[in-house]
Amino acid sequence: MTEARKKNPKLSVIIPVGQRVDDVDVLVAEYIDAFETANADYEFIIVLDGPKKELLKALDSVMTVNSAFKVVELSKEFGESAALMAGFSEAQGEYLVTLPAYYQVNPLEIAKLLAAIDDDDDMLIAVRWPRAGSIFDKVRRSIFHGLLNYISRMKYRDLGCSVRLMRREVLTEVSLYGDQDRFLPALAARRGFRVREIELAQSPKDSFRGRYQLREYLRRFLDVLTIFFLIRFTKKPLRFFGTIGFLAAGVGGIFLAVLIVQRLIFNIPLADRPALILGSLLVVLGVQIFALGLIGELIIFSHASGMKEYAIRSVIQGSGTPEEQTLRL
């Protein structure tokens, strides 16, 4: 490997290593073979999410023979999104490739991924196809993607796959935290980046051996709600909170109006009427929720000058002389 290749690699391959790990030394060797076969100019960045001495020892053999190989060890477990951003901070490549520390797609398909990107793409995301799995897994994936697609108004088929190829600008513009790495394509598309899916053969070793607990489903549901708010209402919180507040106050107002009509016309006393308490609570709650949205709007307005929700793909300079350009303006 030449010095030029080490100093300025075109591809930066980031592999965040969290709780789920296969034989990482074997898997990384297969990944490296795939990039070598594709004759790619690359660097590998392995990010260990927290101290993992056994994994670090297993990767020693790879680091000793490959100078384009780097391991970043985080001080504790911060999550896959933080590990991905830590790897990005060390990356030098024009393009970024994210790969999982466990089998998802056949490593031989990486060459197909690298060859598929063109000038119109900002991000390619892999879709494991044909997809193996139980009926329960298929139903679970359908529900998850159906809900997310409805929220984002886009069509994704396999956001659980971590095999992605993107321009460096994507992670420059989109900051990840928490468990948002799964939703990176949706967040990137929201900023105006062009995201496209590509079908890659699923690895025969791709099988989740554990069982998701109930809290995992609750976390995923809350993550989807978070993405829903980030995509739809980040810059328009009053539309979200205002709608909920208006509905709550409206329902409460209807309850109170009916009670007032019954009291004034039919002489029905208001004492011992649970509907009076419910209606009053809904009106107060609706006003508070509406005020929360209004406060959010004021905060966004005060910080609007430092916020940006678009990404500039390119700036094309005219070829005329400065005088001609001035006249055109």
Same domain for 31 and 110, yes or no, is yes
| pLDDT band at residue 308 using 50, 70 and 90 as cut-offs | low
Q: What is the pLDDT of residue 221?
A: 86
Residue 169 sits in a domain whose CATH number is 3.90.550.10
Mean pLDDT value across residues 103-125: 94
Model confidence at 120: pLDDT above 50: yes
Average pLDDT, the chain: 85
Write the DSSP assignment of 163-191 as a string of letters: -EEEEHHHHHH----TTGGGGHHHHHHHT
Give the separation between CA 157 and CA 312, rounded to whole angstroms. 27
Who wins on pLDDT, 301 or 224? 224
Largest CA distance in the chain: 93
Contact 240, 229 (CB under 8 A): yes
Same domain for 249 and 127, yes or no, is no
- The residue among 198, 216, 233 that closes a domain is 233
Contact 297, 237 (CB under 8 A): yes
Same domain for 178 and 298, yes or no, is no
Q: pLDDT of 68-108, one tens digit each?
A: 788 899 988 998 899 999 999 999 999 999 999 999 999 99
Same domain for 219 and 246, yes or no, is no
Mean pLDDT value across residues 303-308: 62
Q: Residue ranges of the alpha helices (H) in 80-206?
A: 80-90, 110-116, 135-152, 168-173, 184-190
Residue 329 lies in a domain: no
- The residue among 180, 198, 233 that closes a domain is 233
- The residue among 233, 265, 288 that closes a domain is 233
Give the separation between CA 125 and CA 194, rounded to whole angstroms. 11
Q: What is the pLDDT of residue 324?
A: 47
Contact 126, 158 (CB under 8 A): yes
Same domain for 283 and 141, yes or no, is no
| pLDDT band at residue 171 using 50, 70 and 90 as cut-offs | very high
Who wins on pLDDT, 69 or 165? 165
Share of the chain above pLDDT 70, in %: 88
Burial class (CB in 10 A: 0-12, 13-18, 19+), 265: exposed
Residue the block writes with tokens 């004759």:
39
Same domain for 144 and 267, yes or no, is no
- Domain range spanning residue 21? 8-233
Parallel, antiparallel, or unpaired for β 164-167 and 95-98?
A: antiparallel
Q: What is the pLDDT of residue 17?
A: 92
Same domain for 184 and 289, yes or no, is no
Model confidence at 251: pLDDT above 70: yes
Q: What is the pLDDT of residue 5?
A: 46
Closest by Cα among 59, 50, 56 to 19? 50
The whole-model pTM stands at: 0.78
**Which residues contact residue 252 at a Cβ distance below 8 angstroms, ignoring those fewer than 6 apart?**
278, 279, 280, 281, 282, 283, 284, 285, 286
Who wins on pLDDT, 167 or 313? 167
Q: What is the pLDDT of residue 319?
A: 58
| pLDDT band at residue 4 using 50, 70 and 90 as cut-offs | very low
Cβ–Cβ contacts within 10 Å for residue 221, how many?
Answer: 12
Q: What is the pLDDT of residue 7?
A: 58
Same domain for 284 and 259, yes or no, is yes
Q: What is the pLDDT of residue 177?
A: 81
Same domain for 292 and 228, yes or no, is no
Same domain for 277 and 208, yes or no, is no
Number of domains in the chain: 2
Write the DSSP assignment of 253-315 as a string of letters: HHHHHHHHHHHHTS----TT-HHHHHHHHHHHHHHHHHHHHHHHHHHHHHTGGG---------
Cα separations (Å) of 35 from 2, 31, 96, 269?
16, 6, 13, 80
Same domain for 196 and 298, yes or no, is no
Model confidence at 311: pLDDT above 70: no
